Homo-oligomer: A and B are copies of this chain.
């Protein structure tokens, strides 16, 4: 324990000190953020990146990393949290009112870039973190989609014959599928948002004349 760097929070002592130490702590925190950014980038490139890889990407020693994050899971969790915060920030800026179909289109457009760049991070987290944690972090984003869908349903614009959860799953599934197709060169990244929206709108809006009824 003697060799363990004290970590980011030693606030007990600096309560009264005016500027100098506070600056250092600010530095440390900024440092951590930039480390997280690097780790995020690293995980985005390779979901199997080791702690050593992330440390190198951050230009930092592996030991230093373990000083800030007790375990690899902690680090991944922090990266995930940061990722979702950024995502939420971007999504908060999009208007989700008005016509549900247009709202969904806008939301997809805003989400696409994020998913496109970070779905690898999510995959890494999905494999290494407990499911309830994943669920918790996704909650806000999930809720956002669900709200639009519910609203569209009430307005009669979205179909009523499928489970809500499945409709939400559909949205996320197609986004990630598009991300993988893009990474594999099978889909143009610039066209993806349009394609996803067009597919989703058709899939989720109220059944039209084109759908054959399997009933008698």
Contacts and interface: CB of A to CB of B under 8 A. Distances in A.
Interface of A: 99, 101-102, 105, 131, 157, 159, 161-163, 165-166, 169-170, 172-174, 176-178, 181, 184, 186-187, 195, 198-212, 214
Contact of A161 (B174, B198, B203): B198
8 contacts: A131-B184, A165-B186, A172-B177, A173-B177, A198-B211, A202-B207, A202-B208, A203-B203
Contacts of A205: 202, 210-211
Contact of A202 (B159, B163, B174, B187): B159
A166 B181 contact: yes
Contacts of A163: 187, 195
Nearest to A131: B184
Nearest to A126: B180
A208 B157 CA distance: 13
A interface majority secondary structure? helix
B208 A162 contact: no
Contact of A207 (B195, B206, B210): B210
A163 B169 CA distance: 22
Nearest to A207: B202
In the A-B complex, the 7 residue pairs with the smallest Cβ-Cβ separation, listed nearest first, are: A208-B208, A173-B177, A203-B203, A205-B210, A208-B210, A202-B203, A206-B210
A131 B199 CA distance: 26
B165 A199 contact: no
B166 A187 contact: yes
Given A166-B178, A208-B208, 20 more contacts: A101-B211, A105-B214, A131-B184, A165-B186, A165-B187, A166-B181, A169-B177, A169-B181, A170-B174, A170-B199, A172-B177, A173-B173, A199-B203, A201-B212, A202-B202, A202-B204, A202-B211, A205-B210, A205-B211, A206-B210
